[in-house]
Amino acid sequence: MTPSELSDAVVHALRALVERGAVELTGDLPASVVVERPRNSSHGDYATNVALQLGKRSNLKPPALAAALAEELAGVAGIASVDVAGPGFLNITFDAGAQGGLAGTIVAAGPAYGRNETLAGRRVNVEFISANPTGPLHLGHTRWAAVGDALSRVMEAAGAEVTREFYVNDRGNQMDKFGASVEAAAQGRPVPEDGYHGDYIADLARQVVANRPDILELPEGERLVAFREEAYQLQLTEQQQHLETFRTRFDVWFSERGLYDDGKVEHGLKVLQEKGHLFESEGALWMRTTDFGDDKDRVLRRGNGELTYFASDTAYYVDKRERGFDTCIYLLGADHHGYVGRLRSMAACAGDDPDQTLEVLIGQMVKILRGGEEVRLSKRAGTLVTLEELVDLIGVDALRYTLARYPTDSPLTLDVEQITRASNDNPVFYVQYAHARLASILRNAGDLGIAASTDGFDPSLLAHPREGELLRALAELPRVVAASAQLREPHRVARYLEETAGTFHRFYDACRVLPQGDEEATDLHRARLVLVDATRVVFANGLGLLGVDAPERM
């Protein structure tokens, strides 16, 4: 019996009581009932507070309602006992072995286990990183790469249709400054004070000149543009390569310039115009975002005729909606939180309900410690530690996992020594090790000629307490995926895997899986092997949701 089956059984029991007139309820029956794993094992395998929740709507007080439900549930196959405790909790204990069938179900489902339909039919755009193509990706971008990609995977697993999108800020005067910086470096002149610094500028200059030996001969105006464009392509390509190395792939690289070239900015403004939220004042074009709670109105076109960054963002949003996305998720750094209010107001000006169509996740700062001291500077970038350096220092798996295991709204500190250490205090190794151990058992079973076959295995043999704990842990994966997706909190997957790794290791400690010495393989061995295979599937799928390898050996 799984949690959802148990939930159904509770609803069924409730319905029976109501139909029989034993219980009166105002309002409808709940569609589902929350069953949770109690912290304290003396509270049974599962507990539900349904009687407390329905107390106000029922003619019975919670303890009496709970007692009636307990009696009704006691006859359900697989349930050993139901106790009423405290103010009206139902503590449910399964028959030993009644959960074993789940192991076979998981093995049969394989990579599909954990997937669900919670977000089925939702078209979601997840935009993250969206860096300027004027330099290497750094620490903050790296957090978004790990979290954005994991979030996308989790939402896909929950049934959503997800597009991962990177908005390339390739327009505006920072691009000109970038081009001028590279050009200056190529000419052997110092980079302008307000330009881009760092060794990478000189590297780019060398590459640009190598690719286009004639470039220095061009007249100044053309030369600056040529440097800007060449360096832009090189830098963008480098970002793409580094993200590829980091296993973060985007479906769409969306150029800000493209918005202009394709007339999407004018189109976006037209849409807003029709909605009646634009006005002109002091020679500028404004959006009246204060209509929807922003603290001030925002300029779209300046007095000098130039369109603002906000105009691009507006057009971009309109374009996303016209491409059919129900939900547009933005992952932004804490330094951009001031932007949230105007984004939401803008969506409202475009005729949407921002609560439905636009979500912003704000990520707090990341610090990195090495040898007990904060690492800030990157030689190459001139400013912050880069993605490339982090991958070299920490490795893709440990880096992705560590960045994804914290809620985004808490600041986090990466301790290089800790997360590269192969020991118990390093969660990524702890979890990967569990998978490697499982794979090892399955390998050994193969050598012994014992197959983890799901047909004909006897689930009721999995009656050891540690087996029950492990099965209940495995049963959680679909709920964890659903909650992570709905709450946009992929870190829950990591925390779940850590907890489940502990549960597995305790099972391993107590339950011998394979025959020893000359022992013949028994049905218990075979049943445990199915459980091991199921556990391996859970780790493989869970790590997959985080984009972290599930190693066969360590």
Partner RNA sequence: GCCCCCGUAGCUCAGCUGGAUAGAGCGACGGACUUCUAAUCCGUUGGUCGCAGGUUCGAGUCCUGCCGGGGGCGCCA
Interface of this chain with RNA, residues 466 to 495, rule: CB under 7 A: 479, 483, 486-487, 489, 491-492, 495
CA 74 to chain centre: 40
User: Considering only 25-33, 122-130, 217-225, 506-514, which stretch makes contact with RNA by CB under 7 A?
Assistant: 506-514
d(CA 34, CA 542): 23
| φ, ψ (nearest 5 deg) of residue 374 | -70, 130
336 is a contact residue toward RNA (CB under 7 A) = yes
User: Considering only 74-82, 202-210, 347-355, 433-441, which stretch makes contact with RNA by CB under 7 A?
Assistant: 433-441
User: Considering only 140-148, 164-172, 212-220, 392-400, which stretch makes contact with RNA by CB under 7 A?
Assistant: 164-172
53 is a contact residue toward RNA (CB under 7 A) = yes
d(CA 426, CA 420): 8
Measured from the CB atom, the residue of 455 and 509 that comes closer to RNA is 509
508 is a contact residue toward RNA (CB under 7 A) = yes
d(CA 328, CA 321): 8
d(CA 137, CA 143): 11
Among 16, 506, 521, 540, binds RNA (CB under 7 A): 506
Measured from the CB atom, the residue of 377 and 422 that comes closer to RNA is 422
89 is a contact residue toward RNA (CB under 7 A) = yes
441 is a contact residue toward RNA (CB under 7 A) = yes
Which residues are paired to 168 by β-bridges?
A: 255
Min separation Cβ 298 and RNA, Å: 7
Tell me the one-letter amino acid at 428.
V
User: Considering only 186-194, 226-234, 384-392, 424-432, which stretch makes contact with RNA by CB under 7 A?
Assistant: 424-432
Assign 3-class secondary structure to 54-113: HHHHECCCHHHHHHHHHHHHCCCCCEEEEEEECCCEEEEEECCCCCCHHHHHHHHHHHHC
The two tokens of residue 105 are 């179900």
Interface of this chain with RNA, residues 403 to 422, rule: CB under 7 A: 406-407, 409-413, 422
85 is a contact residue toward RNA (CB under 7 A) = yes
Measured from the CB atom, the residue of 10 and 513 that comes closer to RNA is 513
Which residues are paired to 413 by β-bridges?
A: 367
Interface of this chain with RNA, residues 169 to 198, rule: CB under 7 A: 169, 171-174
The two tokens of residue 292 are 């929807």
Min separation Cβ 82 and RNA, Å: 11
30 is a contact residue toward RNA (CB under 7 A) = no
CA atoms within 13 A on the CB side of 27: 10
d(CA 75, CA 79): 7
User: Considering only 240-248, 315-323, 439-447, 540-548, which stretch makes contact with RNA by CB under 7 A?
Assistant: 439-447
User: Considering only 36-44, 98-106, 241-249, 453-461, which stretch makes contact with RNA by CB under 7 A?
Assistant: 36-44
Estimate the crossing angle of helix 139-157 against helix 396-404, to 10 degrees: 70
Measured from the CB atom, the residue of 246 and 508 that comes closer to RNA is 508
Measured from the CB atom, the residue of 128 and 433 that comes closer to RNA is 433
The two tokens of residue 374 are 């904060």
Helices and strands, counts by H and E, the chain: 21, 15
513 is a contact residue toward RNA (CB under 7 A) = yes
Angle value at C-alpha 107, between 91 and 96, nearest 5 degrees: 30
Q: Show contacts of 282-289: CB within 8 Å, 24+ apart.
A: 287/314, 287/345, 287/346, 287/349, 288/349, 289/341, 289/342, 289/345, 289/346, 289/349
The DSSP-derived string for 143-181 is: HHHHHHHHHHHHHHHTT-EEEEEEEE---SHHHHHHHHH
Are 382 and 354 spatial neighbours (Cβ–Cβ below 8 Å)? no
- Longest Cα–Cα distance in the chain: 93
Min separation Cβ 172 and RNA, Å: 2
Min separation Cβ 528 and RNA, Å: 8
Interface of this chain with RNA, residues 265 to 294, rule: CB under 7 A: 281-284
User: Considering only 98-106, 205-213, 360-368, 386-394, which stretch makes contact with RNA by CB under 7 A?
Assistant: 360-368
Min separation Cβ 318 and RNA, Å: 18
Interface of this chain with RNA, residues 109 to 138, rule: CB under 7 A: 132
Measured from the CB atom, the residue of 120 and 554 that comes closer to RNA is 554
Interface of this chain with RNA, residues 207 to 246, rule: CB under 7 A: none
Among 211, 444, 453, 460, binds RNA (CB under 7 A): 444
Which of 124, 405, 135 has its CA nearest to residue 251? 124
Min separation Cβ 111 and RNA, Å: 21
Min separation Cβ 518 and RNA, Å: 12
The DSSP secondary-structure symbol of 407 reads -
Site string for RNA, 525-544 (x = CB under 7 A): --------------------
Measured from the CB atom, the residue of 312 and 378 that comes closer to RNA is 312
Min separation Cβ 107 and RNA, Å: 17
55 is a contact residue toward RNA (CB under 7 A) = yes
